Amino acid sequence: MPVVTRFAPSPTGFLHIGGARTALYNWLFAQHHARHGDGGTFLLRIEDTDRARSTQAAVDAIYDGLSWLGLDWDGDAISQFERADQHRAAAERLLAEGKAYKCYCSPDELSAMREAARAEGRKRMYDGTWRDRDPSEAPAGVDPVIRLKAPQDGETVIEDLVQGRVTVANEQLDDMVLLRADGTPTYMLAVVVDDHDMGVTHVIRGDDHLTNAFRQTQLYLALGWETPVFAHIPLIHGADGAKMSKRHGALGVETYRDDGFLPEALCNYLLRLGWSHGDDEIISTEQAIEWFGLDSVGKSPARFDLAKLTNLNGHYIREADDGRLVDLVMERLEQAHPGKLAKEARDRLFKGMAGLKERAKTISELTENSSFYAIQRPIEMTEKAAGHLGPEGSALLRDLRPVFADAESWSDEALMAAAKNFAEAGGIKLGAVAQPVRAALTGNTVSPSVFEIMDVLGREETLGRIDDALGGP
């Protein structure tokens, strides 16, 4: 049977890191089965029934976040709110078949029932007052809710692909509300109807939904529909084991993008948060599709570690295509320094990227470290860098300038050789020579090799920056 998965976020905020992992697992499961001949489809449903909190901006953020991660869904995204008629029709059918009933309890009556249940230690909060009551007893002018007439004995069983066999005694479950008094469908009803109508075969989601699965299973059975296969994955915790919060990194996907993380690095990291393939840590998207299965998802909560994600991102930056990195850096530089970039900026970045990316762990860091290549003269200098251009450093730089100016070959090897000869002749260390040059060329004290930088900048720009540092030619 072809596999159909879905990701069903609520558009009440950003696409958070836990939601991104859920989407990734659903996407990979569908992709894996599509590749191996079973057929696999990944659908997107926006659960926007909470009209007061749902916003178009949040919907757009979900689309944008999924697209950035490369998790493309099949077909058009479905709006749950727009399917309210289908949800109501299902409830009305159950009512007509005697599998649901109208409940006229007031809020005060329901509150009293809950208090009594808690006092008696019962998990079922609703006592079934209107379950078998004659509708003729209905109070006038009261709009009822519609409740499912759930089984009261026996148990509901879920064969979960992650959690294993999970059961609950039916006496612990309420007759849940399907339609509110104003006719709007509840979340439980909408999810079941939508998953059925969309042909979803596997519901892969966080284990905070496990209790919902029991009620939803009862509803599937009442409607005479085949129940999908459930797989409830443990939630993500912070590095300290506490529930994930903003201080742990529970932020929107767009925050990680803005902070300079690559989508493939984030996907690789999220994949390994709860799933494993031996000792493999670096797993490409192609490998993930080939290997992914729910049998390798652990039962314990995974711990999010920003330092590990950052280190992994550094690996992906080192492996990334130089042209792609240049595009990402140029976009940020143009935003940060409008009108201040040299016309040669892109060419310099491309030529120097191999040396730059070895030192960076995020695109933000890469942008900051490479800005000296792109900015027009005169470049700004940090206080620490300026310290290398005191009387002694400036004197060295002034003596070095003609050495570089007269270099027959402008390559990093030839320039290094010239600097070594200069240092040896003066009885000084090469590092003492390199630091004032680095300060003049980059405005900083840390950079790739100064001779590589000179090669990238070219003779004219290099000498011009040295002149700037010395106060003019």
The residues that are catalytic are 246
CA distance 214 to 203: 13
CA distance 145 to 188: 14
Residue 49 CB contacts under 8 Å (≥ 6 apart), including other chains: 80, 81, 84, 184, 185, 187, 190
User: E strands within 96-176?
Assistant: 100-103, 145-148, 155-160, 164-169
CA distances from 386 to 217, 328, 375, 389, 393 (A): 70, 30, 18, 5, 10
Place of tokens 């792109």: 374
Q: Which tokens in the block code for residue 201? A: 């075969």
Asked whether 9 and 47 are in contact (CB, 8 A), the reply is yes
CA nearest neighbour of 400 among 415, 420, 416, 422: 422
CA distance 388 to 79: 62
**Neighbour tally for 84: CB within 10 Å:** 17
**Neighbour tally for 292: CB within 10 Å:** 22
What length does the chain have? 473
Residue 155 CB contacts under 8 Å (≥ 6 apart), including other chains: 167, 168, 169, 170
Q: Which tokens in the block code for residue 154? A: 């026996």
| First-last CA distance in the chain | 77
CA distance 12 to 52: 9
CA distance 319 to 283: 13
CA distances from 150 to 145, 169, 177, 181, 442 (A): 15, 12, 11, 19, 72
**Neighbour tally for 118: CB within 10 Å:** 11
Asked whether 225 and 201 are in contact (CB, 8 A), the reply is no
CA distances from 451 to 210, 262, 323, 372, 411 (A): 60, 30, 22, 14, 8
Single-letter amino acid, residue 287: Q
**Neighbour tally for 29: CB within 10 Å:** 22
Asked whether 81 and 51 are in contact (CB, 8 A), the reply is yes
Q: Which tokens in the block code for residue 350? A: 């491309």
